[in-house]
Amino acid sequence: MTRRRDAILREMGLAPLWRLRGAEPVEEAQPEPSAPVPEPVVAAPVSAPAPASRPVPLARFVPPDAEPAEAPARRPAPVGDIAGLGWDDLEARIRECDACALCKRRKQAVPGVGDRQADWLFVGEGPGAEEDERGEPFVGQAGRLLDNMLASIGLARGNDVYIGNAVKCRPPNNRTPETDELAACFPYLERQIALIKPRLIVALGRPAAQALLNQEVRIAAARGKLFEFGGIPVVVTYHPAYLLRNLADKAKAWEDLCFARATMKRLKADAV
């Protein structure tokens, strides 16, 4: 399987980009992800992303027939005057927030980082241990993988890219954020989006996608489709921490990045 997987990644020109310098072979590494993003096992194959030349209409996601174990919480209205805050006041409010229980065990809140007028917004799940220490999202091993993912489509952290999370405080033991925690933190993410005004949002993992779309999401079923948040197109793909544990899905994530790049190209062409 290792030779076959490596051959597939080399065929796509992906192997050199995804390998971390100085790391042990991926099969033996046991990284600590920024935050665990459990992904469901989906047997049905997913259609390949649409080619760049074919317009892809915005669509509402229709979940599988099976009843979800837990529906996303209803979004609250913005707390206080969050809807009118500028960047400095917003980040100060995030750092002193006590709207949910996550504030009790954090070392510091992690608002986000990058270009505040970026065309690209990447939204992850929540801070991990290293992010909680340093106050910046995606700085652990999953963050290094995200940097390689950005480089694979000609992007770089902070250069027309803003990176944030659905929740701003680290969940205990890097667990998945609960629906009430996602709901409590959502007004901050909503205000960040309003300030950035990105052309495209990339949701990294299921919790981020559910926070943005406010409904149950299965990543395997949502890939290769365009959704929308407040009129802004949203592309859904796997979280880097998940990819570190599920190597075979890196090729799928590469397809999603190509789909996002093609979508951005079309959005810019339409704006001319």
- Contact status, residue 162 vs residue 81, Cβ threshold 8 Å: no
CA distance readout (Å), 187 to 30, 109, 212: 35, 15, 11
Q: pLDDT tens-digit profile of 123-136?
A: 999 999 999 999 99
Please state, in angstroms and rounded to a whole number, the distance separating the CA atoms of residues 205 and 70: 16
| Predicted pLDDT at 81 | 81
For residue 118, pLDDT over 60 is answered with: yes
Task: Determine the average pLDDT of the residues in 250-270.
Answer: 97
Task: Determine the average pLDDT of the residues in 153-174.
Answer: 96
262 alpha-carbon distance from chain centroid:
18
Which H or E element spans position 141?
Answer: helix 141-152
DSSP calls for 21-80: TTPPPTTT-----SS--------S--PPPPPTTS----------SSPPSSPPPPPPPPPT
Q: pLDDT tens-digit profile of 79-95?
A: 458 989 999 999 999 99
Please state, in angstroms and rounded to a whole number, the distance separating the CA atoms of residues 241 and 252: 14
| Predicted pLDDT at 96 | 94
Selection from 164, 169, 172 nearest residue 108 by Cα = 169
* Res. 205 pLDDT band, cuts 50 70 90: very high
Q: pLDDT tens-digit profile of 209-244?
A: 999 999 999 999 999 999 999 999 999 999 999 999
Instruction: Choose between 183 and 75: higher pLDDT.
Output: 183
Q: Which two tokens stand for residue 2?
A: 């290792």
* Res. 4 pLDDT band, cuts 50 70 90: low
Q: pLDDT tens-digit profile of 52-80?
A: 433 333 443 333 333 333 445 445 544 45
- Predicted TM-score (pTM) of the model is 0.73
For residue 198, pLDDT over 80 is answered with: yes
Domains and CATH numbers, the chain: 80-271 (3.40.470.10)
Place of tokens 């033996």: 28
Q: What is the mean pLDDT of the chain?
A: 81
Q: Which amino acid is at 177?
A: P
Percent of the chain predicted with pLDDT > 70: 71
Sign of CA dihedral 215, 164, 39, 5: positive
* Res. 27 pLDDT band, cuts 50 70 90: very low
